[in-house]
Structure formats: C-alpha cells, structure tokens
Amino acid sequence: MPRFFSGAVAIAILAAIVYWIVTRSISALPEPGPLETRIFAIVRNGYIHEAAVHSYSKAPLDDPAEISAGQGLFSMACASCHGSDGRSPTNIGKAMYPRCPDLGSPEVQRLSNPELFWVVKNGIRFSGMPGFGNTLSDDEIWQATYYVRSLRTTAKQK
C-alpha cells in the first residue's frame, strides 16, 4: 500500500473515532459535517486514484450508441438511488450516509474515465454505492461510465 494512502487511512480511522466520541452517534439522519465529508473525500479519492491506474477505456466516450446502451443499464441498475436522470437522487439515495451524489456535479465529474469505471465496478465500501463487477460485464460497466460522463452537460430534472 502506498505510503500516502496508509497515512490517509490512519487519519480517517482516527477522525472517525474522535467523531464518534464527540457525537456518540451512528445515526444516518444528520447531514454529514464538512470536516467529515472532506476527510472521507480525500481518502476515497486518493484510493480510487491509486486503484484505477490499471483500468483502460475501450471505445470513444462520445459514441452515442454506447451512451444510449449505458442509459438503459443505468435505469435498471442505478436509477433507484441516483434518480432516473442520474442528477436527482431518490429519497432512498438522499437517506444514505454518505448521501448519493448528483452524478453531473463537478465533484463527480472531476473523476477521470478509469476512475469512474473503477467506482462502478468495485463500489465504495462503507457507503451505499454497490460494486457491479459480479453482475455486469466490463463492457456494460464502460457503457454506464460513458452515460455518467455524458451527464456533465445535462440540466437537473427539477
């Protein structure tokens, strides 16, 4: 494990313990605080960045056929949490801790294509984001990735 990463994990575990001692709560109802969100994002993004180094892209990202296949997969596998447009999380998605993000937001679109692919394939432990590596083929995961990428230019439904 790279040194940066083990350091970040140690800090995150420590922060989680301190947070728990201070709040004495594991309830998912309160809004995640800014410090907690920031620390979690640093660890998560650092890990995803390292892990995604070996993902590779197959087809050009602007291929309409791939994006439309991805949209079909998305409505079956992802919309129940992320919303049918990928940008308006459902009540279930909004009740998760961490919350389900708007996939067109700059925070998500900041991820590279291999990073997005890695997230969809592996999921994110300790969050509601499932890994689809056992249920979708790599080709299908790329299609879902292309669809997520296409959301950067779309407007939210409401």
Rounded to an integer, what distance in angstroms lies between the CA atom of residue 57 and that of residue 95?
A: 33
Torsion angle in degrees (nearest 10) through CA of 20, 23, 26, 28 = -130
Residue 121 Cβ vs ligand HEC, minimum distance, rounded to whole Å = 9
Q: In this structure, are residues 5 and 47 in contact, taking their beta carbons and an 8 Å threshold?
A: yes
Contact pick of 8, 39, 69, 148 for ligand HEC (by CB under 6 A): 148
- 81-110 binders of ligand HEC (CB under 6 A): 81-82, 93, 96, 98, 100-101, 103, 108
Q: Are 136 and 125 in contact (CB under 8 A)?
A: no
CA–CA gap between residue 41 and residue 63 (Å, rounded): 31
Per-residue binder mask for ligand HEC (CB under 6 A), 31-50, x = binder: -------------x---x--
Q: Please report, as ranges, the residues that interact with ligand HEC according to CB under 6 A.
A: 44, 48, 77-78, 80-82, 93, 96, 98, 100-101, 103, 108, 111, 116, 119-120, 124, 127-130, 132, 144, 148
